[in-house]
Amino acid sequence: QADTLADEMEVVLYDPRGRGRSEPVTENTPVGIDHAVADLEVVRRHLGLERISLIGWSYLGALVVLYAAAHPEAVDRIVQVGPLMPRRDPYWERWIADYSARAARFTRYGKDNALLPDDNRSGASKEAPRWAMISGIAPCE
């Protein structure tokens, strides 16, 4: 899918700390989701990107949400693919209600039969994104 996205925008794929082709984690390497959020900010700044769209799969779906919460000014859109589910108690019922409300907003279709979000989104650009950073995908050989 990164190749398909690259037809429309610039795509950056990176391996988070200790995964894929990144440096191995040693006993002195700081790890954890807070460090992963900080690392993503380092990548964005290193590339000189003002606003980015993020795609995160599984655990990294949680990472992109935490990054967006920490750096809302730097995030245009997020996409979660199979993100971590919240702990059943006490969060499950609230998560289902929130998810259902968000899903109900996606009811219109565009010219390519793509789902269109509600036009009343706040903070997100109405333009097509220029960048997508995909975390947690290692190149296949």
pLDDT tens per residue across span 57-80: 888 888 888 899 999 999 998 888
Whose structure tokens read 């036009």? 119
Alpha carbon of 37 to those of 59, 82, 97, 107: distances in Å? 12, 19, 27, 32
d(CA 5, CA 38): 25
- Helices assigned H by DSSP within the chain: 2-6, 33-46, 59-70, 88-105
Spatial distance between the Cα atoms of 132 and 50, rounded to a whole number of angstroms: 12
pTM for this entry: 0.62
What percent of the chain clears pLDDT 70, i.e. is strictly above it?
70
With 60 as the cut, is the pLDDT of residue 129 above it? no
122 band by pLDDT with thresholds 50, 70 and 90: very low
**Confidence at residue 74, expressed as pLDDT on a 0 to 100 scale:** 93
| pLDDT higher than threshold 80 for residue 123 | no
Structure tokens given for 69: 């919460």
- 78, burial (CB in 10 Å: exposed 0-12, middle 13-18, buried 19+): middle
Average predicted confidence (pLDDT) for the chain = 75
